């Protein structure tokens, strides 16, 4: 739960600590994140970067915070995961150190701890606002029964009322195909929708005449009425999404009937999602990242992994927020926000992070932007 906004004192250190799993299975990724942070702090008058190893564990992360304070750090970049962030937060708070974590776990955000990973709530809010602008205000959700599905479902339930929308239904499904099929059929309200047509067919056939048989054929050829909602949030990606798509088609749920919306994970899969042509997802505009990618490749000789942009942004924020007396809440949660590798982001005093995401539409060749990322975070629906 997000606590009520509080102020924390300006940290006195001038060094920037970055907490990464520099040993262990994620060491190669950690090195890329470290390089991205070094890139952001490359230049005169930049704060000194202090890399510290968490070994990928909660205890290692908590110990690294203590080391950071002892070595004159005034702000913490990282750690990588939600579990590590949970261990870091109370220690950092007791030491007056703000934290810019790389996880997208919204349960970790609190005053003084910002999670920079692009989270489900940011995506859902952008989509609900965009779909609402098209006059669609009744939502349903078909979600996996896991942590990601819960985050999406909670985000939809919390967001819809604030944007004059409602949630008609939410259904979860387990790991096996039978549960997926049952949930899809139920969310489609297929039996109820089909019953209208079947009743017309039976009535026409009951005439027992050639004209009645003709009317029955015409009735059977009618399209099934649309579901009782305007938009459907689908919380699936990867192979499971490929199982779900034909089920949605079988039960007449698609962009022709309702607006299908989904997670930013679809950005990687768009060329394989032609069957969902017309569906929307929210994600950063790749044009915003182009400068970071070019600079990283030029300096280090290889492309940056996707998550490296978070370390770059965190270090760039630290550079801008650094003051003579250290790092203060006001310099980090500044009202104008920051322009990062993934577009605009605003760090709020209560730990929430607002992002300026674009809205993409899937087409037969991949996807294209239908609503550009905002140039200002002044609007409350971004």
pTM, entire model: 0.86
Segment 126-177, tens digit of pLDDT: 999 999 999 999 999 999 999 999 999 999 999 999 999 999 999 999 999 9
How far, in Å, CA of 382 to CA of 374, rounded? 8
**Do 277 and 364 lie in a common domain?**
yes
Mean pLDDT over each residue of the chain, to the nearest integer: 89
First to last CA, the chain: 21
Residues 235 and 273 placed together within one structural domain of the fold: yes
Asked whether residue 3 is domain-assigned, the answer is no
Q: Is residue 8 part of a domain?
A: no
- Give the side-chain half-sphere CA count within 13 A for 248: 23
160 within domain boundaries: yes
Q: Are residues 255 and 202 in the same domain?
A: no
250 lies in the same domain as 344: no
User: Is 158 part of any domain?
Assistant: yes
Residues 289 and 275 in one domain: no
Residue 319 vs residue 10, higher pLDDT? 319
Residues 71 and 103 in one domain: yes
| 23 and 85 co-located in one domain | yes
Cα dist. 264→115, 261, 301, 360 in Å?
17, 10, 28, 9
Same-domain status, 196 and 269: no
6 domain-assigned: no
Whole-number pLDDT of residue 10: 46
The residue written with tokens 């150190």 in the block is: 97
- Judge if 249 and 276 occupy the same domain: yes
Q: What number of other Cβ atoms are within 10 A of residue 270's Cβ?
A: 20
Asked whether residue 2 is assigned to any structural domain, the reply reads: no
Secondary-structure percent of the chain, ordered helix, strand, coil, rounded to 5 = 45, 20, 35
Q: Is residue 1 part of a domain?
A: no
Does residue 263 fall inside a structural domain? yes
Is 73 found in the same domain as 103? yes
Q: Which tokens go with 75?
A: 């702000």
User: Can the peptide bond before residue 79 be classed as cis, meaning omega within 30 degrees of 0?
Assistant: yes
Number of domains, the chain: 3
pLDDT in tens, 17-73: 999 999 999 999 999 999 999 999 998 888 999 999 999 999 999 999 999 999 999
Q: Are 149 and 265 found together in one domain?
A: yes
The range of the structural domain enclosing residue 86 comes to 15-117+285-351
CA proximity to 98, closest of 362, 323, 339, 355: 323
- C-alpha 281/C-alpha 258 separation (Å) is 14
Regarding whether 111 and 93 lie in a shared domain, the answer is yes
State the CATH number of the domain containing residue 231.
3.40.50.2300
Residue 134: CB partners within 8 Å, gap ≥ 6?
259
> Is the separation of the CB atoms in 307 and 33 below 8 Å?
yes
């Amino acid at each position: 739960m997000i606590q009520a906004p509080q102020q924390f004192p300006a940290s006195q250190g001038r060094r920037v600590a970055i907490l990464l799993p520099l040993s262990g299975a994620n060491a190669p990724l950690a090195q890329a994140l470290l390089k991205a942070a070094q890139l952001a702090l490359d230049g005169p008058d930049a704060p000194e970067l202090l890399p510290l190893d968490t070994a990928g564990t909660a205890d290692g992360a908590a110990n690294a915070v203590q080391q950071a304070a002892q070595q004159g750090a005034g702000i913490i970049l990282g750690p990588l995961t939600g579990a590590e962030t949970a261990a870091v937060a109370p220690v950092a708070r007791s030491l007056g150190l703000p934290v810019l974590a790389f996880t997208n776990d919204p349960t970790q955000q609190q005053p003084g701890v910002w999670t920079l990973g692009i989270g489900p709530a940011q995506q859902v809010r952008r989509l609900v606002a965009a779909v609402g602008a098209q006059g669609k205000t009744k939502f349903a959700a078909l979600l996996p029964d896991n942590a990601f599905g819960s985050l999406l479902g909670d985000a939809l339930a919390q967001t819809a009322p604030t944007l004059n929308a409602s949630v008609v239904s939410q259904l979860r499904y387990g790991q096996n195909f039978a549960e997926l099929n049952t949930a899809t059929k139920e969310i489609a309200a297929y039996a109820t929708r089909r019953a209208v047509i079947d009743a017309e067919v039976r009535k026409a056939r009951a005439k027992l005449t050639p004209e009645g048989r003709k009317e029955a054929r015409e009735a059977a050829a009618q399209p099934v009425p649309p579901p009782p909602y305007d938009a459907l949030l689908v919380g699936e990606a990867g192979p499971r999404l490929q199982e779900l798509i034909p089920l949605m088609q079988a039960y007449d749920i698609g962009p022709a009937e309702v607006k299908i919306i989904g997670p930013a994970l679809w950005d990687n899969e768009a060329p394989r999602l032609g069957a969902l042509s017309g569906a929307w997802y929210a994600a950063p505009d790749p044009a915003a990242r182009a400068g970071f990618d070019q600079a990283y490749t030029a300096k280090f000789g290889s492309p940056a992994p996707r998550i490296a942009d978070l370390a770059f942004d965190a270090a760039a924020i630290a550079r801008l927020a650094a003051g003579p007396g250290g790092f203060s809440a006001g310099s980090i949660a500044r009202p104008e926000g920051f322009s990062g590798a993934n577009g605009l982001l605003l760090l709020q005093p209560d730990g929430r992070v607002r992002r300026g995401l674009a809205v993409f539409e899937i087409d037969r060749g991949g996807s294209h932007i239908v609503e550009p990322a905002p140039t200002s975070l002044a609007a409350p629906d971004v």
